[in-house]
Amino acid sequence: MGAGLQSGVSVLAVGRSIKTQLTNRREFLLQASAASALAALGPRTLAAQQAARQAVAAKADSVIFIWLPGGIAQQDTFDPKPFTPFEPGMKGSDVLATCESIPTAVDGLKFGAGLENLASVMHHGTVLRSLSSATKFGAVHLKAQYYMLTGHLFPAGLKAPSMGSAVARTLGPREPLVPPYIYIGRDIDTSDTEKQFLAEAIGPGFYGAEYAPFMIPDATAGLATLEAAAGTTMEQVDRRLALLKKLHGLTGSRLPEAPQAERFLKSMDSARAMMDSPVKQAFNYAKDESAKTIAAYEPQIAPEELLDQKYFFGRRFGHGLLLARRLVESGARFVQVEYQYAAFKGFDTHEDGQRRMIEMKKQIDGPISQLIRDLADRGLLQRTLVVVASEFGRTVANQPKAGVEPDGFAEMQNGDELVIEEQKMYGLHGHFSSANTLLFFGGGFKPGLVYGKTAERHAMVPVENPVTLEDTHATIYRALGIAPDTAYVTEGRPFYVTKDGRGRPIDALLA
């Protein structure tokens, strides 16, 4: 049984090497269904995890996934185009970028102005400019975000797990008391049905609650459930837990013999232990870090200066990155930090694009670059993969009320029909699934590399080395030592971490 367990587990994690032995997918699936009982058992032993990773030689142990939803205008940021200043009456096709470009630490690589700090650390970074989606999401952010975070198009026929959950399940925690998948920066209050949908996109899908993200909405506010609830004390928590266990032992039924009862109590113990754990200590950055460091994670603009003073998460985001770094230092596996999404706000520029991009860049430039510097200084950058992503890029709108076009319509047009009469209409205001830029730092990615090129005029589709999302995800998984056809069985069939297990790592991106 022991040997069977080992090989069964490795079928699931190191699918690729098994595939070379089997003739086709059907045999693989027959093997997988025999192993499905094992999949149903949940997380694998530490030894099995290590065995799986050695087989595919991981380059990174942890991930900090910086999620900036809304659809970042790549022309003003990471894939800059010539600056075409506002002139009333200009055509949409004349808008190539709303800011100047600046040099970076990498020869020949330019970024949009406002990203000077980030530019200075790009010798650590990889820029991928040619991610293109065959499915055009049109106006629908939710589907695009679901796609980017899970690798599957909604509806996927079942609840697709997010990348964070896939990593958590496959690699497990690095430290026993540090949850493998942590999510920073998003409110837990999901009163809005749109936010409820998005909760699924970052969730564990069919993997179940064990792989759900550990949510930390606001790094500056600590985490409520790691502290005794308001109105109670730690002493009370301990007394309650002791009473629970005592009474449970006295119950006349045979319930204590049940494995579920054991697991339930064990989980309570883990929860209690977590309240004293490194996770808790990671929050104490105000005490541990220098004022200079903390200042470097602050946004460079205050809410009062913003066009929309009510949408501001700069401080939460910056401190979230600092917390993410500290969590990785304590042994976190996958930490996603979000600049909280809201439709039509932040990066989702449907109007006032120029000004809004200036505001957003001021909030991400300092913190992201400081994170990279800190990781490099601490010798963590090599084994920590940092990803910066948005769900799609942007293009000019073809009409003043951009974003209302049916799927795909806006993608290929060049903006000739749009006449920009006022400042409000000046900017990259249309969604563009055809080209998206991602940044990677550390974790086995080739530093100083720029991969892929987009056209200089609209439609700014990739003209060199276009890549798919499944291949991009496969590359990230490869860096972590996870085979792209790693699968978990549900409803009697395997579900792969990349679509149909067909993701292929882009070797050119990896060192």
Partner 1 sequence: MLAKHGTLLLAAIFALLLAPVAILAAELDSEQQLIERRTVRISELPAPPDPPQVSAAVKHPIDRFIAGKWRTLSEPPRVGLCDDATFLRRAYLDLIGVIPTLKETNRFLASKSTPAKRAALVDELLARDADYALHWTAFWEDALASQSVLEQGGVLTRGNYRQWLLDSFRANKPYDVMVAELIDPTMPGRQPERNKDVFGVDYTIGYVRNETRPVTLGTAANIGQVFLGTSMKCAACHDHFENKEWPQERFLAFAGLFATEDLEKIRCDQKSGQFIAAKFPFELPGATAALPADPVERLHTAAQLITDPANPRFAKTIVNRLWKRYFGLGLVEPVDDLREDVPASHPELLDWLAHDFLAHGCDLKHTIRLILSSSTYQLRYDPAQADLYDVANPGSPRYFRSPQLRRLTAEQVLDSVRLAASGELRPEQRTLLDGRSTALMRALGRPASRNEISTARPDDVAVVQSLELMNGGELQELLQLASVPENLARGDQRRLVDLAYRAVLSRSASPEERNAGREFLTASRDIQAGYRDLLWALVCSPEFQYLQ
Binding to partner 1, residues 236-295 (CB under 8 A) = 236-237, 239-241, 243-244, 246-248, 250-258, 260-261, 263-265, 267-268, 270-272, 274-275
Residues in CB range of 368: below 8 A, 6 or more apart: 66, 117, 118, 321, 388
- Name which of 26 and 287 has its Cβ closer to partner 1: 26
Q: Which stretch binds partner 1 (CB under 8 A): 48-56, 66-74, 203-211, 284-292?
A: 203-211
If one asks whether residue 221 binds partner 1 (CB under 8 A), the answer comes out as no
- Between 344 and 457, name the residue whose CB sits nearer to partner 1: 344
Nearer to partner 1 by C-beta: 348 or 359?
A: 348
Residue selected from 46, 157, 456, 457 as contacting partner 1 according to rule CB under 8 A:
157
Q: For residue 288, what are the contacts with CB-CB under 8 A and spacing of at least 6?
A: 326
CA distances from 75 to 151, 347, 362 (A): 25, 13, 16
Q: Looking only at residues 69 through 98 of this chain, which bind partner 1 when binding is defined by CB under 8 A?
A: none
CA dihedral 388, 206, 265, 328 (to 10 degrees): -10
317 by Cβ neighbours in 10 Å (0-12 / 13-18 / 19+) ranks as buried
CA distance 469 to 25: 22
In the complex, least distance from residue 244 CB atom to partner 1, rounded to whole angstroms:
4
d(CA 77, CA 394): 11
Site for partner 1 in 114-143 (CB under 8 A): 138-143
Contacts of partner 1 in 317-346 (CB under 8 A): 343
Smallest distance, Å, CB 408 to partner 1?
Answer: 12
User: What gap in Å lies between CA 134 and CA 119, rounded to an integer?
Assistant: 30
- Peptide bond just before 179 cis, omega within 30 deg: no
- Outline where 352-408 has alpha helix (H): 353-377
DSSP one-letter code for 238: H
Residue 231 engages partner 1 in binding (rule: CB under 8 A): yes
Peptide bond into 229 cis (omega under 30): no
Measured from the CB atom, the residue of 34 and 57 that comes closer to partner 1 is: 34
Per 3-state DSSP, the chain is made up of helix, strand and coil in percentages (nearest 5) of 40, 15, 45
Q: Does 378 engage in binding with partner 1 (CB under 8 A)? A: no
Q: Identify which of residues 138 and 367 has a Cβ nearer to partner 1 in the complex.
A: 138
**Least spacing, CB of residue 186 vs partner 1, in Å:** 12
Nearer to partner 1, 107 or 189 (CB): 189
Tell me, residue by residue from 22 to 51, as one string, x for binding to partner 1 by CB under 8 A and - for no binding: ---xx--xx--xx-xx--x-----------
For the bound state, the minimum distance from the C-beta of residue 81 to partner 1, rounded and expressed in Å, comes to 28
CB of 257 to partner 1, least distance (A): 4
- Going by C-alpha positions, the residue among 392, 305, 415, 401 that lies closest to residue 350 is 401
Site map (CB under 8 A) of partner 1, residues 161-200, x = contact: ------------------x--------xxxx-xx-xx-xx
Tokens of 204: 């564990």
Q: Using CB under 8 A, which of 214, 297, 339, 477 touches partner 1?
A: 214
| Separation CA 391–CA 372 (nearest Å) | 22
Stretch that binds partner 1, among 84-92, 353-361, 401-409, 422-430 (CB under 8 A): 401-409
When the beta carbons of 171 and 364 are compared against partner 1, the nearer one is 171
**230 belongs to the binding site for partner 1 (CB under 8 A):** yes
Closest to 28 in 3D by CA, of 41, 15, 40: 15
